Amino acid sequence: MFRYFTLLLAYLTAHSACAQPAGPQPWWPTQPTPLPFVHPLFASDMVLQRDILAPIWGWSTPGDTITVSIDGKKSGERAVSGKDGKWMTKIGPLPAGGPHVITVEGAKHQATIKNVLAGDVWLCTGQSNMNWPVRLSNNAEEEVKNANYPEIRSFTVNFFPSLTPMKLPPPAKWEVCKPEFANNFTGVGYFFAREIHRTQKIPIGIIHSSAGATNAESWTSEKALRKLMPDDFKPELAAFNKLAGEGVENFDYFADLEKWTGVVDPVSAQKKYATDPDLDTSDWKETAIPKPWQDAGFPDFNGLVWFRHTIEIPKTWVGQELRLHLSIINDSDITWFNGKLIGCHQIKGSNRVYTIAPDLVKAGKNLLTVAILNKEGPGGFCSNPGNMVILPKSGAEKPIALAGTWKAKAAASIKEIKTPFPEPKVGIYRTITAMYNGMIAPLEPFAVKGALWYQGEANGPRWLQYRRLLPTLIADWRERFQVGEFPFLIVSLANYNPLQTKPVEPGWAEIRESQWRTVRTVPNTGLAMTIDIGDGGNIHPRNKQEAGRRLALTARNIVYGEKNLIYSGPEYAEMKIEGDKKEKIRLSFKHLGGGLMIKPGEKKLTGFVIAGADKNFVWADAVIDGDTIVVSSPEVAEPKHVRYGWAWNPQVNLYNKEGLPAITFRTDE
């Protein structure tokens, strides 16, 4: 998954913030996803947030009464599904521990969720440094080998930018922490979870939803951007509206596909080509499949062609999930099984494999219908006969071959078709609100303890805007997850690029300042500095262990009440101009811990620069004086301002004696 994601992003980087990639993309949905009786977040091996009434929801027939039990005892109020089929109730509260069994029952449906632990659930999100897996972190082989923590579980949300808020995340499941799964866990999230689990002795769940190169506005809802930052994103919001179109909240891509066939070929809708098993096909051609249709009855034709085929299904297959292999098709197909649309691929020449739900399978004759649109070149089924089969997903029985004689009928030619083939409402990774719609909205309002945020690289050039954007995102998520002002812990960007050579260098210093400012102004937030554990030549530093540990230190103090724990490095508090000639500046700090110190092995403080009123910064002489630092320079007779670590990859070596690096800062903010 990570390798695919990296290649995908390499392709996408050519596109601007609201431009869409030309043509179909690999992440476009290919099969309709029925709304499940229970949302996929509520599944075996899950972690349920402890000590609160936790929402649980799903979908059933309208008016259905749903009851939820924990270990055989009713929990929460009964829920009644609404007109849209959605039901929701709250269960618990449960103390940390387990395992538990949750049973959900309706009139026609029942779900049993096993091995459920109650603990703390942390949402882990941001850019590629949150996405970076354990198997690519420091000491990876040993870390993966030792990743046996049955009370740590992870739910990883796969990549999906969307122009409409999704009800379900891309397919995912809870995974218990053991080597075969933990190797792909988010490194920062896992090392954080391991430390919290070790110190707090409670189960930990991590919901990992991140994507490389994404900006913060893509993770923020349209409603929040429109309400709180309308002038900042005016052109982007206008472009978004144009992309999304009308009725985006109720858009159904697969219903649109069926409507499209009726528009471009009205007769197909009238006679029910896709759904009527008794359709009179005496005027259809018998066609050899698989073979390009230009060689099988439709020479010199490009456009829409319908295909129908009857499959004899044995009784033993009834009630089983089937796999339909149609192999390679040119260009786009819409496929039905027994009148139900089961899939669509728009990438020319891609392999078609569709899942058929058990309730669609019947013994005897089953109708397979495929509508194919081809614009130019060989059209239709273009593969070897052995690649077209249907079989149970279990693979336990011999497949049924689909190659042979099918019925086919040409419809509209490509020149006659004026209505574009439908596209799903998807964005790209930089489209405003797209990542929120596809990868956060489907999780709401699952009860979480807090969030871990490792992002900012993509917003670096717009650091001043980020001062308002990050608080907007935090407020947005807190409103939507409905657990109050939950803790929001931020990773300050690591050092990157060549080592600093000038007193002040443009780069990430300002975005780090914006992250720090957010923590100073937004309640219940925390900051983990990583300014000393980056890799100047790699935007993805591999020391995710220390990043996770420092986040955990922050959580242990802010969230878990270890008030005597030093969780931060020295933080600038105030300055005073001193000396007979006012020639030096004394800096005071918070989070001193055992006291200020220079990084072991080094003799002189580095990273401090000083300037007068003209802000012409020069390297400064800085010395530790008790709990303060005195800064001066013979080049600046009347100093007014000090900065520390003001560069992409600054020369910094100030720590407290607990080994935590000082927060980079400037007094002239």
Q: What SS3 class is residue 509? A: helix
pLDDT more than 90, % of the chain: 90
Question: Is pLDDT above 50 for 425?
Answer: yes
Residue labelled with tokens 């230009």: 294
Q: Within this chain, do residues 278 and 341 fall inside the same structural domain, yes or no?
A: yes
104 strand-pairing partners: 68, 111
Structure tokens at 92: 């618990």
Q: Within this chain, do residues 627 and 546 fall inside the same structural domain, yes or no?
A: no
Q: Is 311 in contact with 368 (CB distance < 8 Å)?
A: yes
Q: Within this chain, do residues 608 and 534 fall inside the same structural domain, yes or no?
A: no
pLDDT in tens, 28-82: 899 998 999 999 999 999 999 999 999 999 999 999 999 999 999 999 899 999 9
Q: Within this chain, do residues 26 and 136 fall inside the same structural domain, yes or no?
A: yes
How far apart (Å, rounded) are the C-alpha atoms in residues 88 and 59? Answer: 9
The domain tally of the chain equals 3
Give the CATH number for residue 215: 3.40.50.1110
Residue 52 counted as domain residue: no
Residue 164 counted as domain residue: yes
Residue 547 pLDDT class (50, 70, 90 cuts)? very high
What is the residue-wise DSSP string for 129-173? HHH-BGGGSTTHHHHHHT--EEEEEEEEPPP--BSS--SSPSS--
Q: Within this chain, do residues 363 and 289 fall inside the same structural domain, yes or no?
A: yes
Residue 104 counted as domain residue: no
Backbone angles phi, psi at 481, to 5 degrees: -85, -10
Give the CATH number for residue 307: 2.60.120.260
Domain final position from 389, 413, 437:
413
- pTM strictly above 0.85: yes
- Going by the DSSP 8-state scheme, the letter that residue 106 receives in this structure is -
Q: Within this chain, do residues 310 and 345 fall inside the same structural domain, yes or no?
A: yes
Residue 499 counted as domain residue: yes
149 strand-pairing partners: 177
pLDDT the model gives residue 21: 67
Residue 72 counted as domain residue: no
Q: Within this chain, do residues 205 and 352 fall inside the same structural domain, yes or no?
A: no
Question: Is pLDDT above 60 for 652?
Answer: yes
Residue 4 pLDDT class (50, 70, 90 cuts)? very low
Q: Is 441 in contact with 166 (CB distance < 8 Å)?
A: yes
Domain final position from 534, 567, 600:
567
Q: Within this chain, do residues 452 and 560 fall inside the same structural domain, yes or no?
A: yes
Q: Within this chain, do residues 622 and 507 fall inside the same structural domain, yes or no?
A: no
pLDDT in tens, 489-499: 999 999 999 99
Segments forming the whole domain that contains residue 602: 571-666
Q: Within this chain, do residues 260 and 349 fall inside the same structural domain, yes or no?
A: yes
Residue 344 counted as domain residue: yes
pLDDT in tens, 245-296: 766 667 889 999 999 999 999 999 999 999 999 999 999 999 999 999 999 9
Q: Helix 509-521 to helix 463-481 angle, to the nearest 10 degrees?
A: 40
Q: Within this chain, do residues 459 and 518 fall inside the same structural domain, yes or no?
A: yes
Question: Is pLDDT above 80 for 658?
Answer: yes
How far apart (Å, rounded) are the C-alpha atoms in residues 524 and 566? Answer: 17
Q: Within this chain, do residues 524 and 576 fall inside the same structural domain, yes or no?
A: no
Domain final position from 545, 567, 589:
567
How far apart (Å, rounded) are the C-alpha atoms in residues 492 and 453? Answer: 9
Residue 65 counted as domain residue: no
